[in-house]
């Protein structure tokens, strides 16, 4: 999906994601990790959610007492994030910023430097050149204080590429007589990239289904490549997990690859 496509998808994004289910799974691990970066001199840690989408992680963490900000390349995603924050209600800062330009866009924020930067939802894989990934990681590092934490959540592309796992889980949502279904699948390209496709289905009552498909190229970031890029960007103490939990990462069976790393002191 281009930025324009993500702008369009923003209206349905909170229907696409089951936030209650996701937070129930992820928050215990996330809160435990963020507790390790809380400075003794301040009451709350400062958290940046890069590629924040509609801002729900930043908002939830603000409700937990963290000082939060979020950035996303899609202006429409940021528009929805700000509306979600008003409904929160929380005072989370949201800015339109793509990977590699986050520090520049937030240079006046009093939250800089952050104690932790999150990059969740397989977002980093949207950069299809390893050099662009490294530039993004360097940018995130400049947003962190020395010793601050970067937490990444990606698909386990080691397994995806080995098994050529094509289909991802189907998502559905209903509001009264309105119904949405989202089907996701990969195409494996000759150049080594992946095309990530989402089929969007919508209908009201007994009316015919309306459908469209959106697609985006992904770089299958395997753990070895990602670890090397993190080290080159100045990160240390790199740890891998199977998911947003303390379960150890297994390249042969894990569904996701979650990495924590620390900015060098």
Higher pLDDT, 42 or 263: 263
DSSP 153-169: EEE-HHHHHHHT--B--
Q: Average pLDDT, stretch 100-121?
A: 96
Tokens of 210: 């309306």
Q: How many residues does the chain have?
A: 265
- Residue 184 has what pLDDT? 96
pLDDT in tens, 141-190: 999 999 999 999 999 999 999 999 999 989 999 999 999 999 999 999 99
Gap between the Cα atoms of 175 and 20, Å rounded: 16
Tens digit of each residue's pLDDT (9 = 90 or more) over 212-233: 999 999 999 999 999 999 999 9
Residues 249, 259: Cα–Cα separation, whole Å: 9
> Mean pLDDT score of the chain, rounded to an integer?
95
Q: Report CA 67 to chain centroid distance, whole Å.
A: 18
Q: Tell me whether domains 3-158+221-263 and 160-218 share a fold.
A: no
| pLDDT tens digits, one per residue of 40-75 | 877 789 999 999 999 999 999 999 999 999 999 999
Residue listed under structure tokens 């089951």: 18
Domains of the chain, by residue range, sit at: 3-158+221-263, 160-218
- Is 3-158+221-263 a domain of CATH 3.40.50.150? yes
What would the two tokens of residue 253 be? 């069976």
Express each pLDDT in 163-172 by its tens digit: 999 999 899 9
**The dihedral sign for the CA sequence 78, 79, 83, 84:** negative
Supply the pTM of this predicted model. Answer: 0.95
Task: Write down the residue that tokens 């070895």 correspond to.
Answer: 224
**3-state SS track over 18-62:** CHHHHHHHHHHHHHHHHHCCCCCCCCCCEEEEECCCCCHHHHHHH
Secondary-structure class of domain 160-218 per CATH: mainly beta
What is the per-residue pLDDT for 2? 65
Cα first-last separation, the chain = 37
pLDDT above 60 (res 1):
no
- 97 neighbors 26 (Cβ within 8 angstroms): no
């Amino acid at each position: 999906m281009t930025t324009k496509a993500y702008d369009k998808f923003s209206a349905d994004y909170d229907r696409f994601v089951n936030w209650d289910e996701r937070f129930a799974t992820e928050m215990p691990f996330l809160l435990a990790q963020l507790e390790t970066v809380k400075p003794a001199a301040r009451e709350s840690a400062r958290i940046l959610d890069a590629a924040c989408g509609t801002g729900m992680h930043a908002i939830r963490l603000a409700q937990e007492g963290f000082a939060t900000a979020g950035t996303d390349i899609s202006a429409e995603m940021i528009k929805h994030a700000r509306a979600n924050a008003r409904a929160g209600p929380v005072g989370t800062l949201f800015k339109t910023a793509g990977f590699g330009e986050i520090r520049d866009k937030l240079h006046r924020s009093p939250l800089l430097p952050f104690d932790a930067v999150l990059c969740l939802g397989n977002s980093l894989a949207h950069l299809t050149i390893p050099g662009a990934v490294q530039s993004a990681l360097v940018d995130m590092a400049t947003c962190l204080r020395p010793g601050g934490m970067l937490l990444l959540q990606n698909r386990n592309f080691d397994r995806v590429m080995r098994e050529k796992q094509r289909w991802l889980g189907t998502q559905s949502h209903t509001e009264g007589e309105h119904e949405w279904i989202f089907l996701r699948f990969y195409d494996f390209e000759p150049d080594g990239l992946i095309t990530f496709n989402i089929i969007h289905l919508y209908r009201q009552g007994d009316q015919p289904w309306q459908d469209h498909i959106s697609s985006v190229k992904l770089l299958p970031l395997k753990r070895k490549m990602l670890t090397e890029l993190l080290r080159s960007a100045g990160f240390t103490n790199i740890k891998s997990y199977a998911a947003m939990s303390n379960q150890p990462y297994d390249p042969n069976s894990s569904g996701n690859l979650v990495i924590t790393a620390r900015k060098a002191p």
